[in-house]
Amino acid sequence: MKKNELIDKSVTKEITNIDQKVRNAQVQLLYEQTKTGLIGVLIVALTACVVFWQVVPQWKLSLWTGITVLLTLIRGGVVFAFQRRESLTSNIDRWASLHVIGVVASGLLWSIPFIFLWPPEHSVFQLVWPLFILPLSAAAVVTYYTWTPSYVLFLVLTALPISLRFFFEGGGLYYIMGFLTLFFIAVLLRAGKVMHAASVRSFEFGIRNEALNIELNEGISIREQLNLRLQQEIVERKLVENEIKKLSKVFLEGTNPTFIEDINGHILEMNNEAVNFYGFSREELVGKSMKLLVPDEKHEKIDELIKLCLEGKLVRDVEGLQRKKDGSKIPVLMTLSLLTDEENNPFAISSISSDITEQKNIEKELTKSKAAAESANAAKDKFFKIISHDLRGPFNTIIGFSNLLNEEYDSFDDLRRKDCIQHINMSSTNAYNLLENLLAWARTQTDEITINKEELNLKKLVETAISTALLLADSKNISVINNVQPELILSIDKNTALTFIRNIVNNAIKFTHKGGHITIDSHVNEDSISLHITDTGVGISPEVIDQLFQIGKDISTNGTNNEKGTGLGLILCKEFIERNGGSISVKSKVNKGSEFIIVLPR
């Protein structure tokens, strides 16, 4: 009982230690990124002062700007004090609380424009305030994502008053802008949660990797000391009349396989561990060459090591590959030493092998951990790009055309009004599709996607998936032909299947010129069904194909009608296809078209 309690306490202490280190790293990064954020706040505040100087009471604007600058300088002083502290672990909670207090004060200050600095008679400038503050709110999420209270409070205090003000003003356009702002808040809260989780995983990976490296180095040091000690014990044995005496109990019961060989590499004696480790009996090994324990392709290396040893050089901890009687191969560290008689004439060689399978496994785990950390960082960078650039574009278009429509409504004819509405509709659709992919991808990163397979008709599944894309295809006079065999049934998750088929078809429409065509065919294999989506579009170069499904590569290009993209859709498709047990590949020729091949289990 006491032993179990000690183990539980040890595990709890280790987890607490990792959590504390993660917390320290989060606060450290939080303050480092705050420096840049404060500079941005000063620039935005001063710019807003210049823009609204003629439309808002100047004494109010000056007072607000002065308080903003003063608060920013105070927060900068806190950042400077944090950097000058003696220890990160001392009073870390106090520093986190100070940061949250500063964020709350700053957030309240940035909510003031929608109460006291609102230009009631200037509708254009009413829409300018959100253009200053919404990007500031998004930047706060990107800056403070490592500390949840900071980014949540700043986002709510700055963006929520925008929505409330739009609802207070009333009218169709303001109601739309109010709901879009609420939607913007929800998206940023979700994005902040995903980025926060990614940062925690990244910090944990780094901390665990550091611990594994320390453990690995300590293990190697201990092994070297043991090898050296055993080597010294063997060398110190006296030999009589050029015959090897029987090894002592220390040799026979050594924990590492040990051999005594003649100068030609033939085995004279071995310890018990060598017999147990390799699986050969003593009779099967005595008189045989050491090459019996080495794969054929490594024989030359054994000759080379024996030659170095006979030249008087110490061959220590040379990594190699050996094999057991059952044919299995194991990685080892080999140490060879020359044995001499009383007249210093060499007559034998001692060799010690250390099994480093566990060390190799640790190295593999380190490699996996490093790859996982790099993937998490790439995912985080991708998120930053979408939030900072791609998501802002559609909203700028919506605001711009809605503002133009609001100002020039009476002077525009029906055709011009319809054109503005079409631009707003297209930008809204693009923003919605981007957010759909973004949120779906975010769920895959947090394992919130559940695969529920069911028996479905493939042709009907394709028809449902492409139904929403036909209108876009018609606008470019592109024909979409569904040639899937009507009787094909396969077990697949419906929601993820609809998503990856729709994304690939939309991608084909995007890169196909007006008047082209897209064909969807199926082929039945022995244990799978392949879906072929072929277009007559611009094609893809081999260099781009190699990077098409990699999260860390930015290969997004505009479509034939200058349609925008983020490069996230195909990554999401690959993720969903693999979760359904399938695979995806691409064949393409530049200016000839592309063929996406999806192979799914039957």
* Residue 584 and residue 458 share a domain: yes
Residue 70: inside a domain: no
Residues 471 and 334 in one domain: no
pLDDT at residue 7 in the model? 40
Which residues in the chain show pLDDT less than 70?
1-17, 86-90, 211, 219, 226-227, 230-231, 233-254, 372-394, 396, 426-427, 429-431, 433-434, 436-448, 551-559, 561-568
pLDDT at 241: 46
Structural domain contains residue 189: no
Same domain, 351 and 459: no
**Residue 348, domain member (yes or no):** yes
Three-point CA angle 256, 260, 263, nearest 5°: 135
Q: DSSP characters for 77-136?
A: HHHHHHHT-S-SSTTHHHHHHHHHHHHHHHHHHHHGGGTTS--TT-HHHHHHHHHHHHHH
Domain boundary among 298, 326, 355: 355
Q: Which helix (H) or strand (E) holds 254?
A: none
Q: Can you name the residues that pair with 584 across neighbouring β-strands?
A: 598
Range of the domain at 286: 237-355
Does 425 map to a domain? no
Residues 345 and 455 occupy one common structural domain? no
Q: What was the pLDDT predicted at 244?
A: 46
Among residues 45, 39, 44, the alpha carbon closest in space to that of 73 is found at 39
Q: 529 pairs with which residues across the strands? A: 524, 600
The 10s digit of each residue's pLDDT in 474-503 is: 878 999 999 999 999 999 998 888 888 988
The pLDDT value recorded for residue 291 is 79
Alpha-carbon torsion, ordered 196, 202, 204, 207, to 10 deg: -140
Task: Judge if 457 and 577 occupy the same domain.
Answer: yes
**Claim to verify: residue 333 and residue 475 sit in the same structural domain:** no
The structure's pTM equals 0.39
- Separate counts of helices (H) and strands (E) for the chain: 18, 12
| 591 part of a folded domain | yes
The reported pLDDT for the residue numbered 78 is: 83
Q: Are residues 329 and 469 located together in one domain of the fold?
A: no
Rg (CA), the chain: 35
Please identify, among 355, 386, 402, the residue that sits at the C-terminal boundary of a domain: 355
CATH number at residue 296: 3.30.450.20
Determine how many CB atoms are found less than 10 A away from the CB of residue 88. 14
- pLDDT for 534: 95
What mean pLDDT is reported for the chain? 78
| Helix or strand run (H / E) with residue 528 | strand 528-535
Residues 348 and 454 in one domain: no
| H/E stretch holding 340 | strand 329-340
Among candidate residues 304, 324, 355, the one where a domain is terminated: 355
Number of domains in the chain: 2
- Is 590 inside a domain boundary? yes
Question: Distance (Å, rounded) from C-alpha 278 to C-alpha 430?
Answer: 65
Could you tell me if residue 47 is inside a domain?
Answer: no
Residues whose CB falls within 8 Å of the CB of residue 407, separated by 6 or more in sequence, listed in order: 123, 124
The pLDDT assigned to 372 comes to: 61
Specify the CATH number for the domain of residue 530.
3.30.565.10
- Per-residue pLDDT at 530: 94
- Which ranges constitute the DSSP H helices of 236-294? 249-252, 272-278, 282-285
Residue with tokens 């253009």: 131
Which two three-digit tokens encode residue 68? 């903003």
pLDDT for 240 equals 43
441: in domain: no
